[in-house]
């Protein structure tokens, strides 16, 4: 078996892996989120209330509740309970009335709506949509017809009216900007009714994608009130890709909700499972998130806080469904004349692995390498170390590829020695072919005897290349999931290692390296048809890899060139030894 044929096996296995992953994403059933059965029944009941109702105090109480999570209304209209009369649901595309408060920091541009005091838009200023459009930042959160991603929060309770995520707040100003000499920026909004005053304050920090939220309840109603604080993320499903594409990263990366707990770690809550298996559980020290490719948003409670986590599907007027995941604090009493402050954090930004561990435990798990995490995480760690020295992700890939080759140097040396021996017996193999003609059985017997006599193993090159398969896939996931490599330049025409080579130069070099490998590698077959098929393989590989990320092609091309150098050196040395 030739080196090129083994390379074909590697590529076919890699392509098969991608096809299987795409099939799983589109057709295979997801694992249901861990949910008490009682909560499943509650969510399936389909009861929709405009006013959020309190979550059960304990998980076992979930069976007694049919409205145990906050529910959202797309039109932000008052409920029948508030007005005393039934209200028609607003159309899904309706946007709530009220003021818009714009907030600008060095890394974020945010819009807060006075209706609910919710974050309705969030733009990541350091992450443009396209590398050649630096002034068009990624819109992580958005509030447009048919496409919604909101960060909502509110209060529920007994004894007095409290502002939920639809209540109208009063902002002090409609525009805020972080000054050049400022490290923090506070944005307060207030609500007041029946002797209860609530101040909702967002605090932004320089260079940070974390937003601190506090809701201060001042009770001058003359009686004790019971209060819960909830925060939730609501979004519509992602847009259709418009057809199958093997190399489209959105086919493989996760888009949906997730929760973290110290016991179960990172648990996905897929949108298509929410209606039948809604989340409903107590978690201490966790967080709830909405995840997409490269970016995510997460509500992070205070350390050690025991919250009730929930999910829900809302279908406003039969329009585009909205998926909700959130957390609610335990009930607390606020005596007459007293006050209580609820605090939490919202992270809305990129999946920068080196930063996430400092934000909250387990937050780095949103960078999901799947079953290849055991290889991909150390690979990314080494890449990061090399990048810290070199300052260029492309050259870091080259250096790490060289390090991998050094680790497996002895294995590949064995491979090339085996191929060099095979080259030496090539004339005798041709003689056997001429001697036995079309008698395949006798030809194979004679060739096996030749291999045994000359101590040649035609499969000796398999192991080193087969070992490369998991590294190839791990590299693929590192390039696919690591936002650090998103739009990262290498040199000259390669200005985005996470996108295909725009001029196909790197795939062409890779194809040329495969042709050289074919020239240096002896073939164990004398069949002309098989030889012609092998000649076509470099072209097939070139076309296939032309649509993969240029960073992955750079890794494979570098690996090929290093293999060529090693193969040439070993072959020449063995020829010199006779």
- Tell me the domain boundaries of the chain: 3-19+376-576, 31-55+69-368
Model confidence at 574, pLDDT cuts 50, 70, 90, reads: low
Model confidence at 88, pLDDT cuts 50, 70, 90, reads: very low
Measured in whole angstroms, how far is the alpha carbon of residue 146 from the centre of its chain?
23
Examine the pLDDT at 368 and tell me if it is beyond 60: yes
Whether the Cβ atoms of residue 291 and residue 254 lie closer than 8 Å to each other: yes
User: Which candidate, 135, 295, 157, 163, places its Cα nearest to that of 223?
Assistant: 157
> Average pLDDT, whole number, for the chain?
78
Whether the Cβ atoms of residue 4 and residue 514 lie closer than 8 Å to each other: yes
CATH topology of domain 31-55+69-368: Beta-galactosidase; Chain A, domain 5 (2.70.98)
Q: What is the pLDDT, as a whole number, of residue 46?
A: 33
Instruction: Pick the more confident residue, 365 or 24.
Output: 365
Query: What DSSP element (H or E) covers 533?
Result: helix 528-545
Q: What whole-number distance in Å separates Cα of residue 90 and Cα of residue 442?
A: 82
Q: What is the pLDDT, as a whole number, of residue 470?
A: 82
CB contact set of 112 (below 8 Å; sequence gap of 6+)? 100, 101, 103, 118, 119, 120, 171, 187, 189, 202
- Reduce the DSSP state of residue 57 to 3 states and report it: coil
Instruction: Pick the more confident residue, 210 or 405.
Output: 210
In 3-state terms, the chain is what percent helix, strand and coil (to 5)?
40, 25, 35
CA angle, 381 as apex, 376 and 383 as ends, to 5°? 90
- Reduce the DSSP state of residue 204 to 3 states and report it: strand
Instruction: Pick the more confident residue, 70 or 322.
Output: 322
Confidence (pTM)? 0.78
User: Which candidate, 209, 212, 217, places its Cα nearest to that of 190?
Assistant: 217
Q: What whole-number distance in Å separates Cα of residue 159 and Cα of residue 193?
A: 13
pLDDT (tens digit per residue) in 456-496: 666 555 566 677 778 778 888 888 888 998 888 998 899 88
pLDDT (tens digit per residue) in 20-78: 444 444 444 444 334 333 333 333 333 333 334 444 444 333 333 333 455 543 333 33
Average pLDDT over residues 378-407: 91
CB contact set of 269 (below 8 Å; sequence gap of 6+)? 33, 256, 257, 258, 259, 279, 311, 325
């Amino acid at each position: 078996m030739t080196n090129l044929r083994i390379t074909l096996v590697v590529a076919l296995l890699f392509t098969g892996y991608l096809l299987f992953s795409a099939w799983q994403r589109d057709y295979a059933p997801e694992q249901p989120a861990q949910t008490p059965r009682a909560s499943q029944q509650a969510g399936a009941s389909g009861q929709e209330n405009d006013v959020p109702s309190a979550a059960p105090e304990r998980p076992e109480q979930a069976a007694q509740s049919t409205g145990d999570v906050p529910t959202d209304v797309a039109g932000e209209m008052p409920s029948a309970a508030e007005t005393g009369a039934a209200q028609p649901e607003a159309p899904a595309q309706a946007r709530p009335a009220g003021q818009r408060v714009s907030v600008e920091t060095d890394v974020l541009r945010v819009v807060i709506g006075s209706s609910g005091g919710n974050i309705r838009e969030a733009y990541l200023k350091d992450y443009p949509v396209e590398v050649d459009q630096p002034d068009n930042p990624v819109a992580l959160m958005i509030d447009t017809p048919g496409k919604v991603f909101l960060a909502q929060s509110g209060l529920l309770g007994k004894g007095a009216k409290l502002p939920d995520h639809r209540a109208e707040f009063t902002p002090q100003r409609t525009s805020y900007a972080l000054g050049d000499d400022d490290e923090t920026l506070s944005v307060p909004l207030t609500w007041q009714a029946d002797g209860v005053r609530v101040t909702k304050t967002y605090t932004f920090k320089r260079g940070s994608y974390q937003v601190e939220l506090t809701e201060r309840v001042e009770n001058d109603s003359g009686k004790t009130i019971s209060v819960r604080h909830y925060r939730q993320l609501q979004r519509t499903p992602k847009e259709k890709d418009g057809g199958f594409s093997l190399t489209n990263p959105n086919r493989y990366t996760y888009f949906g909700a997730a929760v973290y707990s110290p016991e179960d770690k990172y648990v996905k809550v897929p949108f298509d499972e929410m209606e039948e298996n809604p989340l409903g559980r107590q978690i201490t020290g966790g967080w709830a998130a909405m995840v997409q490719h490269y970016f995510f948003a997460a509500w992070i409670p205070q350390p050690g806080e025991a919250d009730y986590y929930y999910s829900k599907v809302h279908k406003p007027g039969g329009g585009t469904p909205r998926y909700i995941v959130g957390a609610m604090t335990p009930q607390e009493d606020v005596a007459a004349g007293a006050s209580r402050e609820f605090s939490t954090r919202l992270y809305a930004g990129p999946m920068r692995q080196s930063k996430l561990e400092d934000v909250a435990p387990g937050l780095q798990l949103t960078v999901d390498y799947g079953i290849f995490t055991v290889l991909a995480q150390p690979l990314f760690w080494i890449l990061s170390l090399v990048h810290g020295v070199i300052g260029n992700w492309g050259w870091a890939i080259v250096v790490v590829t060289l390090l991998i080759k050094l680790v497996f140097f002895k294995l590949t040396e064995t491979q090339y020695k085996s191929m060099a021996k095979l080259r030496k017996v090539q004339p005798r193999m041709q003689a056997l072919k001429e001697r036995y003609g079309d008698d395949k059985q006798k030809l194979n017997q004679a060739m096996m005897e030749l291999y045994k006599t000359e101590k040649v193993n035609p499969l000796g090159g398999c192991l080193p290349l087969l070992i490369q398969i998991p590294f190839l896939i791990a590299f693929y996931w590192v390039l696919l999931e690591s936002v650090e490599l998103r739009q990262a330049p290498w040199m000259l025409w390669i200005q985005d290692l996470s996108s295909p080579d725009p001029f196909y130069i790197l795939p062409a070099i890779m194809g040329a390296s495969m042709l050289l490998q074919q020239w240096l590698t002896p073939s164990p077959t004398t069949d002309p048809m098989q030889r012609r098929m092998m000649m076509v393989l470099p072209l097939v590989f070139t076309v296939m890899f032309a649509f993969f990320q240029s960073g992955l092609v750079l890794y494979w091309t570098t690996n090929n060139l290093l293999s060529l150098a090693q193969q040439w050196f070993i072959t020449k040395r063995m020829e010199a030894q006779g």
